[in-house]
Structure 1
Amino acid sequence: MTDSGSWVSLFSGGKDSSWALYRALEEGLDVSHLLTVHPGDDSYMYHVPETRLAGLAAESIGIELVEIEPDDLGAADVEDAGAQGDRELEPLEAALADLQASLDGDLAGVTAGAVESEFQTSRIRGMCERLGIDLFAPLWGRDPRELAEAMLAAGFEIRIVQVAARGLDESWLGRTLDAEALAELVDLNEAYGVHILGEGGEFETLVTDGPHMRRPIELEYETVWEGTRGHIRVTDAWLGE
C-alpha cells in the first residue's frame, strides 16, 4: 500500500466507514474526498439510513464530499443478490474513475469499513484492481468487540439510527452506543447471534462526534417502529458549537 497520492474514503457517516477514515488519517494518508452513495430504500452494498447527514459530517471533518444519487445506481428488478450487488457497484466505480481522471491519475486508493462481509469486500477489492488503486480496510478481520471498544476509547460518539434484529426493540432507536450498550450487545450476541457491530444489518449507526470532527452533529428526530424493526426519521440536524 502506498501513502503517496490522494485517497477517497467510502463514507456513509456510520461508525465503520468513519473508523476507516479516522484510521487512514491517523496513518497519514492524504484523504482528499469522501464519497457517499445514497442508495434509496434498500441495498445489498451500502448503508441505507440517513446518509443525507454525510454532508454535515463532511463539513465538520473538513473534507470535500462527492455524492451518488439513487437515480445514478441504475436500479433494476434484479432477483439475484450478486447481480444486484454488481449493478450497485457500477456508479461507484464510475465516480472513482472520474475522480481519478480529475486527479491526473494520482488516486492512490480508497478506504472501506467492511468487517466481515465478503459480499461487499470482494466487490470493492475487484473494483480497486480494475482501477489500479489500493484498498485500505482497517476493520477487516478484526474482532468486533475490540473494534467497538477502540472506537469508544478514541472518543467516537455513536448513535443507533436503525435496528432489525431479535432483542433490539424500539428503545434502541436513537440510543448512544456507549460501554453499557456495548455490554448489552455482547449479551445479545450470545443469546441471539446479533453481531456486535451490526455487520449483518442488525443495526445501523451515525457518528455524531469524534476526534476527526471539528463540530458535533446535533439531531432532532422521531422514531418509526414497524413491529420487529425500526429507524429514526431526522426532522432537523445541524452542527453544534
Structure 2
Amino acid sequence: MIFASWSGGKDSALAFYFASQKFGKVDHIFTMFSEDCGRTRAHGLKLEHIRAQAESLGAELIFACASWQSYEDVFSIVISSNFAGGLGVFGDIDIQEHLDWVVRVCTSNNVGVFEPLWGMDREEVLERFIRLGFRAKVVRVKKGYEELLGRELDEDFIELAKKLNIDLCGEHGEYHTFVYDGPIFKFPIPTEDLEYGIQD
C-alpha cells in the first residue's frame, strides 16, 4: 500500500509522479485539513478541490482534520490505521527538520518513507515540474508577495521569484500552489472557483 502525503501543490504532485514512475502506482493521497475541516493546512484549499485532484489522479483520498497542536497525533493515527506496513511518499526538498519529523513519525507507525525530491536543487525542482507538463497556480502567499497570487508556475514565474529574492520553491511559506493538470492527471481540474489569499 502506497500513499502520498498530499497538499494539492507542486512538491506533492512531483513526488507523486516520481513514486508512480518507480512503483507503478500510488494507491492513496492523504491530506490534512484544519480542525474545522474547512481548508487544507497552509495551502488553504477546500475539500472539493482535493477531491477533484484525487478523482483525476485515480487515487483514493483519505483526509483528517486537526489543529497544529494535535497534528502529529492525528497524522499518526491515520497512517497507523490505514498504511501500516506500507510506504509514504513525501515532497520534502532539503529542510532537515521536515525530513526528521517524517522519518520519526512514519517509522514509529511501521510506515516506510520515500522522498524523491530530497537533495534536488530548488530551480531544478521547478524546471522538472514545468518540463514534465504540470500546470499550477499560486493560490496563497505571505504578506508582501501579493504579486505572485494567481500566477502560473512557468519560466516567467521563476524569473519573478528570483527578482523578489525568495526561496524559489517557497519552502519558507512565501507561496503555495494548486496543481490542476499534468502527467499524473487523467483530466485537467477547473480552476475558475479557486480562491486566492494571504497567509495568516
TM-score (norm 2): 0.88
Provide the rounded CA distance (Å) in 2 between the counterparts of 1:111 and 1:207.
17
Name the % identity.
Answer: 27
Q: How big is the shift at 1:206?
A: 0.6
* Alignment partner, residue 12 of structure 1: 7
Residues 1:68 and 1:160: Cα distance change in structure 2 (over 3 Å): same
> Does the Cα contact within 8 Å between 2:140 and 2:175 map onto a contact in 1?
yes
* Alignment partner, residue 61 of structure 2: 65
Task: Give the number of equivalent residue pairs.
Answer: 195
More strand by share: 1
**What is the correspondence of 1:1-241 to structure 2 with a 5 Å cutoff?**
6-39=1-34, 46-52=41-47, 53-69=49-65, 73=66, 75=67, 84=69, 87-100=70-83, 107-164=85-142, 166=144, 168-169=145-146, 171-189=147-165, 194-221=166-193, 230=198
* Alignment partner, residue 237 of structure 1: none
Long gaps (5+) in structure 1? 1-5, 77-83, 232-241
> Does the Cα contact within 8 Å between 1:159 and 1:177 map onto a contact in 2?
yes
Q: Secondary structure at the match of 2:164?
A: helix
Provide the rounded CA distance (Å) in 1 between the counterparts of 2:196 and 2:16.
30
Letter in 2 for 1:125: V
Provide the rounded CA distance (Å) in 1 between the counterparts of 2:59 and 2:196.
32
Provide the rounded CA distance (Å) in 1 between the counterparts of 2:11 and 2:102.
15
Superposed CA deviations along residues 100-139 of structure 1, whole A, max 9, x for unmatched, are 3xxxx5x331001112333332111101211233211111
Provide the rounded CA distance (Å) in 1 between the counterparts of 2:2 and 2:141.
31
TM-score (norm 1): 0.74
Q: Secondary structure at the match of 2:179?
A: strand
Long gaps (5+) in structure 2? none
Superposed CA deviations along residues 119-170 of structure 1, whole A, max 9, x for unmatched, are 332111101211233211111221100110000000010110011154x22x
Q: Secondary structure at the match of 1:218?
A: coil
Provide the rounded CA distance (Å) in 2 between the counterparts of 1:224 and 1:8.
28
Provide the rounded CA distance (Å) in 2 between the counterparts of 1:112 and 1:95.
16
Residues 1:136 and 1:197: Cα distance change in structure 2 (over 3 Å): same
Provide the rounded CA distance (Å) in 2 between the counterparts of 1:217 and 1:199.
25
> Does the Cα contact within 8 Å between 2:19 and 2:26 map onto a contact in 1?
yes
Provide the rounded CA distance (Å) in 1 between the counterparts of 2:138 and 2:196.
13
Q: How big is the shift at 1:221?
A: 4.1
Give the number of the structure with larger relative contact order, counting CA–CA contacts within 8 Å between residues 6 or more apart.
Answer: 2
